[in-house]
Structure 1
Amino acid sequence: MTPRTTAPDLTEARLRELAGERSFARGRAYVDAVSAVEVRDDRIRASVAGTERYTAELTLGRRGLAGECDCPYGQEGNFCKHLVAVGLTVLSTGFDLPRRRARSRDRARGLDTWLAALPHAELLALVREEAAENHGLRRRLELRAASARQDLTEVRSLIRDLLDLEPFTRQGWMDPADARAYVDQAGQAVAAIRSLTGSGRAADAVTLAREGIGLLTGTTASIDDEDGRLAEIGAGLAHAHHEACRAARPDPDELARWLVTHALRDEAELTGLDPLDYTDVLGDRGTTALRERAIEAWKANRGGWPEKYLIQRLTKTGRDADMVIALHAADLAPNGHTHLLIARELEASGRPEEALEWAERGIREAENLATVDTALIDHLSDRYTRADRPADAAALRRDHFTARPSLLTYQQLRATAQVAGHWPAERERALALLRTANATVLLAALLDDKDTAAAWQTATESGASAVQWTTLADQLRPTRPADSLTIYQRLATPLTHQTGTKAYTQLVALLLSIRDCHQRLGTQNDFTLYTAALRTAQKRKRNLIALLDEHGL
């Protein structure tokens, strides 16, 4: 048996599963483009040549096989063809990963031993030589040195350089490779700020974190951050700032001012910084100041979405009903919807009388009762009923029905008037209105009331839809089967000229009703002749005939 020389999770099947068939197939074609394979303890890194040269890295960790690549597709979090190519290269060339990992650890230990044995002067010369050739290393070392000697001016200057986007952008655009390099560099700034907090200089860290957030958000207006890399740095700076504030405990009023100012900036989403996360630092005094600042900003710009969103969150968190009312009252909707929101807020705060006043005000101030928010009508009618004011509830429903005559408003008026005990009178008024306003709704109301005599008269005089005729026939059938039969047969005739499952199903349903009418009338022979003629005329419609057979017709 051949001994296993690769990681258990590094198999063709696993590569295919992670990448999908398309990327796996493309990865096969890139095996020859893989070079400079490096093996670390749990990582395999290689260069893959394509339209550009990309760096792909496989991770063989406890959670199984994973990978990262700096190609555009890989930057979106996908397991790309380059990662497949690296994995297939390792599998096809017989890499002995355990042995290579052991060699990597031996090299690391050897390097550590050698560096530890170097005389101070030689080690210093080596570091200077490497720093001179590696700009990134030199900048990291300079930042550490400035932090160690507590040179805040120099640290600030270095952090500003690390967060400077200009060297990485081309006409306001940052390509994936540049974005990766920038994130690596900017990450050093975040680490430096956090190290200041850890070394007891949290107040300085607060200042530098704010400056860093300002630099980042102030220079990204023209940068496309579709892959979220700038947001990653923004979130890191926000976390460093919060961490520093916990340690430094800055003035609550001043912190509240800064938090509100930042939250109202258009670029605030880049950091994800939420003022409400700082309640542990602000305390009662700072939280009050935060809300007051938010109110001031909202009053100055009531139409601004950031201002409105912030104050809504703050008011809901503090359950300050008066603030919520002020927010909604500044922009009352003509259909009464905001009046309803205020009424609900007041009820939740245990102020039912004021809630009722706002609901009634919504009705009074509505531009047109026909377009008023029906939820407000329902709310106020319910409150009148609860307060043992059924007459007021019925009057409200009557006014709403008059303004918007429909089957629904008719049903609501009926339900409310029945509770009040005067539905007959209300019904006469409502039907009188419908006779002059809308014959279709009139017939729907009569059918809903099951007033078959009046519904028959209305349908005969003013006409009806097929659905209404069917409903009327269904209601008439127990007592007037002959009239129902006439309706059903009239509805069935046009269906015999149609094809398709829907038409066949409707026709069969009507035939079942026609059969029932004949049974009630004692004329079953007439039905037999009717269906026989129908089957003869429709014999070419095999699906219809099968459906008739299925129902015994």
Structure 2
Amino acid sequence: MGGLTEAKLRELAGERSFERGLGYVDEVSGIEFGDGWIRASVRGTQRYEVELALGGRRRPTGTCDCPYGQEGNFCKHLVALGLTVIAQNADLPRLRESARARSRSLDTWLSGLSRDELLSVVGEEIAEDRQLRRRLELRAASARGDLAGVRSRVRDLLDIGPFAQYGYVEYGDARAYADQARQAASAVRSLTASGRSVDAMTLAREAIGLLAGVVENVDDSDGWLGQIGTSLADTHHDACRAAHPDPEDLAHWLVTHALDDAADLTDIDPLDYEDLLGERGMITLRQFAVEAWKANRTGWAEKHLMQRLARSGRDVDTVIAVYVADLAPNGHTHFLIARELDTAGRPAEALEWAERGIRGTEDLATVDTTLVDDLADRYTKASRLADAVTLRRDHFVACRSLLTYQQLRAAARAAGCWPPEREQALDLLRVDAGGKGAQRGPVLVDALLDDKDIDAAWQAATSSGAHDGQWLTLTDLARPTRPADALAVYLRLAARLTHETGNHAYEQLVSLLLSVRDCHHRLGTPDDFTTYVTDLRAAQKRKRNLMRLMEEHGL
């Protein structure tokens, strides 16, 4: 049995897939035994076809058409089949021999039929099995060299009509449609194998267009159509390699496709065809790309294609020209241009573009902070510390936050001018604190806390107000030196929490009570704390989880 054991299955699938596979053993049906392989159906989200290959001394392998299995993984459905096979280990030789006997019997019977009898059997099967009929029709058309016939059948196979309700293929029918579409892709691929690569190339392009035209009307949650699109893209590439199409015609199609919605379905990269296009084709490809971009300079697909081609040719000026045609008002595009110039070894121009991005931004409060950070770093590396301070100061003035304050502080300390810069910055934050204040409390308090200036932070919070979170941080820091002031804040915060329920609120309250106890300890008034906790327990006694938490912490 190819060394198939539960331990081997666990090794092949991994712990998670193995454990999940245990729950699918009862969903295995239709087991077929062959010489070295075992096939079955396993019902999961839908019915999947699985196959185990048991090759003597070789490592067992398996395939499954579920999404996880399609990625090459040994999935839970394969585990379920493997466990079923292990359970039938004693009967496996008999089952295999029975399968061989059935196969020999079928071959003998078919060989004994006359031509007319065989045609009659095939006709009956075709009448019963629509999929078989379509596969045979495709093979017949291909064998006859009937391009029109193959094209017609491919169109039929890619038509969503038989599967769609109100023009949309629901998830439950998507698998069946994908199976049919996969037959179309296989038929196109077979043309190259039979020496008809030009026809394969033509039909692959048509099939890609047809599939792209319906993909938005199919619930492709499992990604089947994406896989078929990739298969058609590979078929097209292989056909082109065999057919040697006209380079200019190929270049035109590649550009048209790259700018079409179908590009997302196939992910075809025009540069993958560079060896087929040759010098003439690449020149044409770039010409078509430039024309398309000039017609729509802000189009994402056009810009992406232009940048891709320009980078491949190390044409940084063209890349920059594409960016310049659609500059973002917040300076982000300037940052991208500067990065391209850095890569090209042109740092002076990169600096110029970064500065231009800052100058061109009407409101520094909306500027891309990546650009600010980038330019400040450039100034620092160039020992232009005063310029770095000016940049950080201007950004802080426009966008007064703890982060911009910290960035200004770092730049000013590096330049040796932090004390005067700090006073100017704090003056602005004091003006802000005198207004309505930020939702999370005045930035002034946060800045002073970040400076470790506890007394100034306390004064600012007292005079201008502060958010509860700021008060808690401030009080925790001030408790060793101002226990009485800290106690008043803790009691106020605790009083609010006594009106809330839920474990999170209880945990916060217990943390505050521990701080209250520490304050009383520092003040030498432990009896006052005992009285406070006794009264609190009496008032909150119905909150059992709170009582339990208090007991755990000795409160």
TM-score range, shorter chain: 0.7 to 0.9
Separation in 2, partners of 1:296, 1:98: 64
Please tell me whether the aligned partners of residues 51 and 63 of structure 2 are also in contact (alpha carbons under 8 angstroms).
Answer: yes
Letter in 1 for 2:155: L
Change (3 A) 1:514 1:382: farther
Q: Residue by residue, what CA displacement relative to the aligned partner does 1:116-149 show, whole Å, maximum 9, x if unpaired? A: xx9xxx65x56766676645576355335424xx
1:230 CA drift (Å):
4.9
Please tell me whether the aligned partners of residues 433 and 443 of structure 2 are also in contact (alpha carbons under 8 angstroms).
Answer: yes
- Determine if the alignment matches structure 1 residue 357 to structure 2 residue 352: yes
Structure 1 residues 96-135: aligned runs within 5 Å? 96-107=94-105, 110=108, 114=111, 123=115, 134=126, 135=133
Change (3 A) 1:527 1:291: farther
Please tell me whether the aligned partners of residues 334 and 357 of structure 2 are also in contact (alpha carbons under 8 angstroms).
Answer: yes
Q: Which residue of 2 aligns with 1:275?
A: 270
Separation in 2, partners of 1:357, 1:235: 43
Change (3 A) 1:110 1:466: closer
Letter in 2 for 1:428: E
Q: Residue by residue, what CA displacement relative to the aligned partner does 1:61-90 show, whole Å, maximum 9, x if unpaired? A: 324677779xxxxxxx9989xx99xx89x9
Please tell me whether the aligned partners of residues 517 and 526 of structure 2 are also in contact (alpha carbons under 8 angstroms).
Answer: no
Letter in 2 for 1:449: D
Q: Which residue of 1 aligns with 2:437?
A: none
Among 539, 551, 554, the residue aligned to 1:546: 551
Letter in 2 for 1:110: T
Please tell me whether the aligned partners of residues 433 and 464 of structure 2 are also in contact (alpha carbons under 8 angstroms).
Answer: no
Among 148, 159, 163, the residue aligned to 2:155: 163
Separation in 2, partners of 1:344, 1:238: 33
Among 414, 417, 421, the residue aligned to 2:412: 417
Among 438, 442, 464, the residue aligned to 2:433: 438
Letter in 2 for 1:444: D
Please tell me whether the aligned partners of residues 49 and 65 of structure 2 are also in contact (alpha carbons under 8 angstroms).
Answer: yes
1:164 match: secondary structure: helix
1:326 CA drift (Å):
2.5
Deviates more, 1:450-459 or 1:337-346: 450-459
Change (3 A) 1:187 1:18: farther
Deviates more, 1:490-499 or 1:393-402: 490-499
Normalised by the length of structure 1, the TM-score is 0.72
Q: 5+ residue gaps in structure 2?
A: 11-16, 55-59, 67-73, 127-132, 435-441, 499-505, 539-545
Change (3 A) 1:532 1:426: same
Aligned alpha-carbon RMSD (Å):
4.5
Q: Percent identity?
A: 44
Structure 1 residues 257-406: aligned runs within 5 Å? 257-406=252-401
Q: 5+ residue gaps in structure 1?
A: 70-76, 148-153, 519-525
Among 530, 533, 540, the residue aligned to 1:532: 530
1:379 CA drift (Å):
1.5
Deviates more, 1:214-223 or 1:403-412: 214-223
Separation in 2, partners of 1:472, 1:216: 63
Please tell me whether the aligned partners of residues 496 and 507 of structure 1 are also in contact (alpha carbons under 8 angstroms).
Answer: yes
Letter in 1 for 2:98: R
Q: Which residue of 1 aligns with 2:509?
A: 503
1:397 CA drift (Å):
1.6
Separation in 1, partners of 2:49, 2:409: 72
Please tell me whether the aligned partners of residues 297 and 307 of structure 1 are also in contact (alpha carbons under 8 angstroms).
Answer: yes
Separation in 2, partners of 1:319, 1:508: 65
Letter in 2 for 1:326: A
Letter in 2 for 1:443: V
1:214 CA drift (Å):
4.2
Separation in 1, partners of 2:461, 2:18: 66
2:156 match: secondary structure: coil
The count of residues paired between Structure 1 and Structure 2 equals 492
1:186 CA drift (Å):
2.0
1:503 CA drift (Å):
0.9
Change (3 A) 1:97 1:476: closer
Separation in 1, partners of 2:243, 2:443: 71
Q: Which residue of 1 aligns with 2:450?
A: 448
Separation in 1, partners of 2:219, 2:494: 62
Structure 1 residues 53-64: aligned runs within 5 Å? 59-62=51-54, 63=60
Normalised by the length of structure 2, the TM-score is 0.72
